[in-house]
């Protein structure tokens, strides 16, 4: 069976062997984050609807999971915001009823958590990983570039409300963009927000491969460790370097080598490579991240977009 809505399993730094579930068309999102590795948002929206048939997604999951694959998580993610799908609660409910042995994770930017229906839809998940990149309205607007109607305050209040009701684990992700959200003033606001939200973990992240805006640079490991110390909470951790993915069982060394060989012949965009290897953009991102981290390739901006080539 050819799956339209499932991808992976993906070698995830945080979630181990993770089967991806993509409910949203490419780059349909309430944010147009400057750091997004999936590129610029082409459909900036807060509208919740059934973007792909929920019955199709449930059918694919049933077909795949009846083979009892070894997975650490089934993860709702992809190249759009999964909580935009109005049927996500139904799909999570199916998984917990039919395949309760699997942990269900949802990666969300948190933009819609102010909506009680969204919070209800996620209630049966085992793990939700929401983002909080800024607390001040100015930094939030610069980093996340949200759709009309979403503010830093609404996101903050939605996260607090969700944390009070959600019975599962919450891992709060903070993406550091040097020069925009790493000032002492902004980090103090974030520290106060962490205290109010009270997540199970706080994970500091930064650029792993080139984002939407080419001028965005990654924070150094030393800077991330300094920020973790400033936030002063034992639950704060710096996400491990991307090379750790190579120890994940679903990592494919042959794919990594084939991507390198392909780029040795000619530069390619992520979209080019996804077509060549029939991989989801999220999967391709993992492999490109490893090659970038090792210094084997580099990213250059050309007329047709962002290209990767041998260094």
Indicate the pTM of the whole model: 0.82
Please, what's the b/e burial string for 31-62 (b: 16 or more CB within 10 A of its CB; e: otherwise)?
A: bbbbbbbbbebebbbbebeebeebeebbebbe
The pLDDT assigned to 203 comes to 93
Poorest-pLDDT segment among 51-60, 111-120, 215-224: 215-224
Which two tokens mark 209? 């491969």
Rounded to whole angstroms, how far apart are CA atoms 234 and 168? 19
2.60.40.60, 1.10.10.10, 3.40.50.2000, 3.10.520.10: CATH of 252-311: 1.10.10.10
Do strands 16-22 and 305-310 pair parallel, antiparallel, or not at all (unpaired)? unpaired
Please, what's the b/e burial string for 11-24 (b: 16 or more CB within 10 A of its CB; e: otherwise)?
A: bbbbbbbbbbbbbb
Domain layout of the chain by residue ranges: 6-247, 252-311
Do the Cβ atoms of 178 and 219 come closer than 8 Å?
A: yes
Contacts of 16 (CB under 8 A, 6+ apart): 72, 73, 248
Poorest-pLDDT segment among 11-15, 72-76, 144-148, 199-203: 11-15
Model confidence at 295, in pLDDT bands (50, 70, 90)? confident
Residues 262-273: tens digit of each pLDDT: 888 788 888 888
Q: What percent of the chain is predicted at pLDDT more than 70?
A: 95
Do the Cβ atoms of 13 and 239 come closer than 8 Å?
A: yes
Left if phi > 0, otherwise alpha if psi is -120 to 50, otherwise beta: which for 164?
alpha
Residue of higher predicted confidence among 253 and 135: 135
Crossing angle between the packed helical segments 253-265 and 270-277, to the nearest 10 degrees:
120
3-state secondary structure of 29: strand
Please, what's the b/e burial string for 136-152 (b: 16 or more CB within 10 A of its CB; e: otherwise)?
A: beebbebbbbbbeebeb
Mean pLDDT of 76-94: 95
Q: Which CATH number is 6-247 given?
A: 3.20.20.70
């Amino acid at each position: 069976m050819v799956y339209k809505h499932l991808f992976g399993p993906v070698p995830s730094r945080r979630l181990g062997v993770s089967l991806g579930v993509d409910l949203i068309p490419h780059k349909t999102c309430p944010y147009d984050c400057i750091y997004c590795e999936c590129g610029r948002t082409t459909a900036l929206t807060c509208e919740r609807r059934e973007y792909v048939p929920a019955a199709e997604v449930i059918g694919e999951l049933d077909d795949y999971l009846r083979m009892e694959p070894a997975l650490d998580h089934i993860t709702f993610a992809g190249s759009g915001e999964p909580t935009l799908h109005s049927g996500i609660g139904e799909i999570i409910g199916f998984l917990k009823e039919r395949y309760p042995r699997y942990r269900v994770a949802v990666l969300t930017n948190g933009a819609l958590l102010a909506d009680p229906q969204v919070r209800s839809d996620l209630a049966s998940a085992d793990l939700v990983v929401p983002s909080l990149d800024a607390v001040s309205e100015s930094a939030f607007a610069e980093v996340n570039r949200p759709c009309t109607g979403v503010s830093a305050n609404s996101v903050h209040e939605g996260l607090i409300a969700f944390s009070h009701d959600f019975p599962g684990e919450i891992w709060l992700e903070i993406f550091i963009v040097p020069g925009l959200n790493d000032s002492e003033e902004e980090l103090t606001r974030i520290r106060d927000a962490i205290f109010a939200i009270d997540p199970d973990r706080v994970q500091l992240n930064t650029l792993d491969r080139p984002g939407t805006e080419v001028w965005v640079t990654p924070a150094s490991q030393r800077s991330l460790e300094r920020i973790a110390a400033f936030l002063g909470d034992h639950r704060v951790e710096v996400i491990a370097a991307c090379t750790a993915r190579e120890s994940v069982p679903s990592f494919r060394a042959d794919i990594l080598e084939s991507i390198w060989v392909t780029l040795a012949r000619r530069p390619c965009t992520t979209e080019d490579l996804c077509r060549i290897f029939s991989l989801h953009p999220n999967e391709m991102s993992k492999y490109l991240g490893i090659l970038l981290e090792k210094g084997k390739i580099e990213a250059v901006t050309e007329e047709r977009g962002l290209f990767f080539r041998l260094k």
